Structure formats: C-alpha cells, structure tokens
Amino acid sequence: MSSRTLTLIGVSLVMGLGAAWMADSWLSARLNASPDDHLRSVVVATVEIPFGQMVEAHQVTTVRMPMDTIPNDAFDSTEKAVGKIATFDILSGDIVRGARLSEHLGGSTLASLIAPDKRAISVRVDDVVGVGGFLLPGNRVDVLATKTTGAGSNSATSRTILENLRVLAVDQTAGTDKTQPVVVRAVTLEMSVAEAEALVTAQTEGKLQLALRNPLNLEKKADVIAPVAPVAPAIAMAAVEAPKRVMQRSNGESGGGITVIRGAEANVVKIR
C-alpha cells in the first residue's frame, strides 16, 4: 500500500471522526437544551365558550407561541383558567385572557359577571319594551322613561335617563347561543349605584322603554341622569310667595318699635 493511499485513509478517518463529533455535540445540545426562550406556553380555547359560561377542562388546551404575540394577561396553564366565568364570548382558537374571565366565588354565575363597582337591576319587559325579543346578553341598551304630567293624552313626556348599559341576562339566561327573537319577561342590566337609583325612581313614576344600541357606539351624554334640583335661596322663595307680615317687638334707646317684613323688605315702625 502506497504512502498516498495511507494519507487519504488518514484524512478520511480524521474527517469522519470530526463529523461524528460535531453531530454528537449538536444532538447533545438539542437534547439537553432548555425550552426556546422565544416561545411560551399559552392557553387557547378548543371550542366556543359563550358569555356567562364556566370554563371547563375539555374546552381549553396549551400551545407554544412566540412571546411577542402573547398578551400580558394570557394564562400559561389550563388549571388557571378552568372554573372561571367568561365575561365575553371566546371563540375556538382564541387566547384565553384574564380580562375576559372573572372569578367564581360562589352563588350564581351572574354575580361573577358584574363589575366590582356596578350593580345588577332587573327590568320587567314585554315584546315592545324588550325590543321585539332581540335582546341578548352582552348587548348595549339605552333606557327611556315616559312620565304623564297631566290628565290629557298629550301631557306625557319621554326622555333618555340611562345610556350604554350592558345586558347581563334575559329572563334567567346569561348565554348568547340564541339568534331568533324570543319574548322574555325580564332583562337584567348592569349599572352604577346612581343609575340604579334613577332607574328605580323612573319605574315608579311611569313606563320604561329599552333602545338597542350599536356596540360600536360608545357616545354617552353627560346630563342623562337628571341632577337634583338646587334649593332656592330663602329670600328668593319669600319673594315668590305671597307677602307675609312678621312683626317683632324691638327695644331701642328711643323706645319700643315693631319690625314689619314684607317679602324681602323690612321696615321698623316706632311706637310712641
């Protein structure tokens, strides 16, 4: 065997050993490496989770996604999402976020849907007040109040007292799986304490009507809730009323006298 042949064999062995060492190093690095720092586990919905429904284990799973595409309030394990209440409709494949879920601390699931600073008030409705049965949980409505101020048929006045209220439930249902109009008997609305007081007052004074809003319309008037009428000053009230005479006996250096008050004017009449 010539020296040239031996040289080629030696070079081949060295190259083969080098390739084997590189392959072994690459495999070891892949097997022993920690998960990719650019990926993270995130919980997604496997089926549609309707508004007001409790999240169950078979409805969610985890997938790996790039970190820059994951919201800050996303869950990284299914255990953190299971048992919570969906406050919005969650579609299949959506990332399950904390902003769309609420804690279920007992009682009805409806209580978990109410914001901490809000209240739930039910309004009795019919096919007219309930917007022809097209109201569903999650819709937004305005409340109009009609009040009769006299005996005639033309003495009724109507005004919008509340705006952009969220519908929490219709009758005893908080789901949104219905698409056909259904006549219900009551609608539960979410509102602040001041709005609840205005609604209850309007219910006792006249009739209510709900107006369905476009969900993209977020405009809201600042003077919807009627402010409390200010108390008129005492002098102004005295000027409006019939003049009243109030006599007071006063003692002065020059003798007694009577103070006569007519409306806002006061005169002293001396007594000899």
76 pLDDT exceeds 80? Answer: yes
More confident residue, 160 or 259: 160
Q: Across residues 76-84, what is the average pLDDT? A: 91
CATH number of this structure's domain 39-110: 3.90.1210.10
CA 158 from chain centre, in angstroms, equals 26
Give the residue-averaged pLDDT of 7-34: 79
97 confidence band (pLDDT: 50, 70, 90):
very high
26 three-class SS? helix
In whole angstroms, how far apart are CA 247 and each of 94, 239, 266? 81, 17, 10
Dihedral of the alpha carbons of 28, 29, 35, 36, in degrees to the nearest 10: -150
Task: Please give the average per-residue pLDDT across 245-252, as a whole number.
Answer: 44
Minimum mean pLDDT range among 70-79, 145-154, 169-178, 248-257: 248-257
Q: Where are the domains of the chain?
A: 1-33, 39-110, 118-212, 234-270
Q: List the structure tokens of 117.
A: 């600073």
For 76-169, where are the alpha helices, taking DSSP H only? 109-113
Please report which helix (H) or strand (E) contains residue 6, including its range. helix 3-32
Distance, CA of 221 to CA of 208 (rounded, Å): 19
pLDDT in tens, 195-207: 999 999 988 888 8
Mean pLDDT, residues 80-95 taken together: 89
CB 266 within 8 A of CB 259: yes
Give 95's pLDDT tier (boundaries 50, 70, 90).
Answer: very high
DSSP code per residue over 27-51? HHHHHHPPPPTTEEEEEEESS-B-T
Q: What are phi and psi for residue 248, nearest 5 degrees?
A: -130, 140
Is this prediction's pTM over 0.85? no
Segment 49-73, tens digit of pLDDT: 987 788 999 999 999 998 888 999 9
Taking alpha carbons only, the member of 92, 112, 130, 268 closest to residue 208 is: 130
Instruction: Label residue 135 by pLDDT band (50, 70, 90).
Output: confident
